[in-house]
Chains A and B, each alone.
Chain A
Amino acid sequence: MSFIALFDLISVIVTIISIIIFMVRWRRTLYPDIRYLLLGLLILSFFYYSSLFIEWSGITNYFEKTEDLLGAMIPMFWAFIFYTFLQLLAKKDLQNSEEKYRRLIQNSRDIIFLIYENHFEVINKKFDEIFNLTIEEVNQPDFKLNKLFARKSQFALNRLISQVKKKEKLDPSYNFTVLNVKHEEIDVEASFNYIKYKDGIAIQGIMRDITERKRLEEQLRQSQKMEAIGQLAGGIAHDFNNMLTIINGYSEILLKKEFSAEILNYIQEIRKASIRATRLTSQLLAFSRKQIIQPKLINLNQIITNQIQMLRRLLGEDVAISTVLDPQLHSVKADIGQIEQVIMNIVINARDAMPLGGKLTIETGNIQLNNEYRRLHPEAKSAGYAMLSISDTGIGMDEVTRSRIFEPFYTTKGRDKGTGLGLATVYGIIRQNNGFIDVYSEIQKGATFKIYLPVEHEKEKSIIINSLDEKKLQGNETILLVEDDDGVRAVTESILKKYGYHVISAANGEEAIRIYEEHVGKIDLILTDVIMPSMDGRELVEKLFEKDNNLKVLYFSGYTDDNIVRRGIISEGMEFIQKPYTQIELAKKIRSVIER
């Protein structure tokens, strides 16, 4: 046998083996679409190599013509095989791409759907999740698309439908409110596009749930608004306090003079009005978080227990009051007076919301806020809070009222019933004490105010209570009074002199230093305003401390926005009195500082 015949025999045998393997694996082949073509090629090759073998082994030349025909068909089979492979690969690519697109749509966090000729072709999982509708259900003849949209979005939806019907250009985005399976409103930002689909044009809709985003935006807007109002209110209160100090001071001085009863009555009226105005500015300062506070470690249960009798009297007989106090309640760091004011203001509101009587419940508890809650409430900065909840069974309030209750001067009561500063004060106080408030209310179902104050784990410190005997308020010490406002300086000087003090006045820091140097060792107390032009009170005191660090200092201010009390908190060891003050308040404070 020649080499050639041997090679042909190898080809024949190998091709037979190939056919056998192929047939064995016929049902499990990787490429089922080309198996007939491949089998054809292998059989063709078998006959071709067999005819070559027969010819070259010298058996016969009978198959020479068949061999030529078979030989010409082989490259054609190869061409068909490669072409089919290409078709197969393209189909597979398309399938992969479709699968990717399908997964993308199905796993999207947005609602996605495709409508073609009034028929939903595609809806994704989110669609099903929000509306609880399957593709079969949305394609029922009685299904109405507008049922998925809230009443307020019907007009916008009709406009969109009209645009689509007329094949008009669509807006880049639409804002709708849709109704989920529980009939809750969900704000969505939607975009619609015409896309080529089958033999026509389909509408692809994508809706993104922006309820959370809108809520946070609204929260931010509200907080910015409150901040702006607070700045304004704080500024006004500061200027008013200076004027009220003068009015208060002089009216008190005048009341001690000998005038006719009629004139004394007029002065008394001036003083009463001044006191009312003082309360108002104090509330404004509380709202604007510029009130001076002295935070101490307190237990809310104790405050409630101390106040409960007074609250009962305040609420009257028609309102039942109950308390659910957590005995394990953690302490918080806050100003006692302010927290009492918060409770009082909310209770007054509750009383007014229950004109026919009802029930008021005060509750306390420790709350551990989870990360999700903190994400939704950016004002919640720490995890552990002591919660104070005050609920009433009153008339409740609607959403609009609820969103505005903390605005100063916003009131639903009659003109003569409230100033609209009660809850604004509550808001300011709680924010100043690093807490926050949640309000829940429904019309005719009452309201609940939940106040959260961050828990403090410091050890309890004793609270020094100032209880000086009023008879011992007189003194003969020398006081250096530093105040840039001429009116306030004059009235304060009069008050101090009335109590027997020697007063040396200075209109600014530089003058005060010069006077101090002239009277070294003779000045017992520095009484200085905090905010003054060129040199503020703190700066002045620091310079005087360089000369004598045993100096006694009492600060006073109507408004505190300086470095010392930027956050409204007096630094440890500093003594402060808030303007406007009464004569007795000032005298008491001076005695307590001098005698320390």
Chain B
Amino acid sequence: MLYENEIIMLVFGFLVTLFIGIKFNQLKHIRSYKTLLTGFYLLVAAWFFSNLEQIILEKYLNILEHLFYAGSSITILIWIFKTFTIKVKVK
């Protein structure tokens, strides 16, 4: 059975992905943008599996969903590390 909140998360996730696609040329100026976007895409993938598991392969896709959450949080940690530990002069 599909859950409303999970569908909303997925729809929002796709909309943001679309937005990223449109504004990709500007967004690629963010430092380590590939890491950041990977973190986000892993999250969207997790939301996708959380909906798909309601239709097929519930057990495996559920594991994948949570695996992707973990993957996403690790990738974001890497991005934060890469981006926020460089030396910046305080004005």
Question: A residues near B, CB below 8 A?
Answer: 3-4, 7-8, 10-11, 14-15, 17-18, 21-22, 25, 27-31, 38, 42, 45, 49, 52, 56, 68-69, 71-72, 74-76, 78-79, 82-83, 85-86, 89-90
Question: Known: A18-B76, A90-B26. Is A30-B70 also a contact (CB below 8 A)?
Answer: no
Interface residues of B in 1-46 (CB under 8 A from A): 3, 5-6, 8-9, 12-13, 15-16, 19-20, 23, 26-27, 29-31, 40, 43
By CB atoms of chain B within 10 A, which of A29, A30, A89 has the most? A30
Question: B residues near A, CB below 8 A?
Answer: 3, 5-6, 8-9, 12-13, 15-16, 19-20, 23, 26-27, 29-31, 40, 43, 47, 62-63, 66-67, 69-70, 72-74, 76-77, 80-81, 83-88, 90
Report which of B8, B29, B83, B85 forms a contact with A72, defined as CB distance below 8 A: B8
Looking at chain A's contact residues, the main secondary structure is helix
Nearest-CB residue, chain B, relative to A13: B73
Whether A71 contacts B16 by the Cβ 8 Å rule is no
Whether B83 contacts A30 by the Cβ 8 Å rule is yes
**Which B residues are in CB contact (< 8 Å) with A74?**
9, 43
Question: Known: A14-B74, A52-B69. Is A86-B5 also a contact (CB below 8 A)?
Answer: no
Whether B70 contacts A21 by the Cβ 8 Å rule is no
Whether A85 contacts B66 by the Cβ 8 Å rule is no
Whether B69 contacts A79 by the Cβ 8 Å rule is no
Whether B90 contacts A27 by the Cβ 8 Å rule is yes
Whether B69 contacts A8 by the Cβ 8 Å rule is yes
By CB atoms of chain B within 10 A, which of A42, A78, A86 has the most? A78
**Which A residues are in CB contact (< 8 Å) with B13?**
75, 78
Question: Known: A21-B85, A79-B12. Is A86-B23 also a contact (CB below 8 A)?
Answer: yes
**Which B residues are in CB contact (< 8 Å) with A38?**
80
By CB atoms of chain A within 10 A, which of B62, B83, B87 has the most? B83
Question: Known: A74-B43, A90-B26. Is A4-B66 also a contact (CB below 8 A)?
Answer: yes
Question: Known: A79-B19, A85-B27. Is A49-B73 also a contact (CB below 8 A)?
Answer: yes
Whether A89 contacts B26 by the Cβ 8 Å rule is yes
Extra 8 A-B pairs, beta carbons < 8 Å, given A72-B9, A85-B27: A7-B67, A11-B69, A14-B74, A17-B77, A30-B86, A75-B16, A83-B19, A86-B27
Whether B16 contacts A82 by the Cβ 8 Å rule is yes
Whether A78 contacts B40 by the Cβ 8 Å rule is yes
Whether B84 contacts A30 by the Cβ 8 Å rule is yes
Question: Known: A18-B73, A22-B80, A78-B16. Is A85-B30 also a contact (CB below 8 A)?
Answer: yes
Q: Show 15 residue pairs from A and B whose CB-CB distance is below 8 angstroms, ordered by the A residue.
A: A3-B63, A4-B63, A8-B69, A18-B76, A18-B77, A21-B77, A27-B90, A28-B84, A29-B88, A31-B83, A42-B76, A49-B69, A71-B6, A72-B5, A74-B9
Report which of A52, A75, A79 forms a contact with B9, defined as CB distance below 8 A: A75
Whether A79 contacts B63 by the Cβ 8 Å rule is no
Assembled-state Cα–Cα distance A8/B71 (Å): 10
Quote the shortest CB–CB distance from B28 to chain A (angstroms). Answer: 10
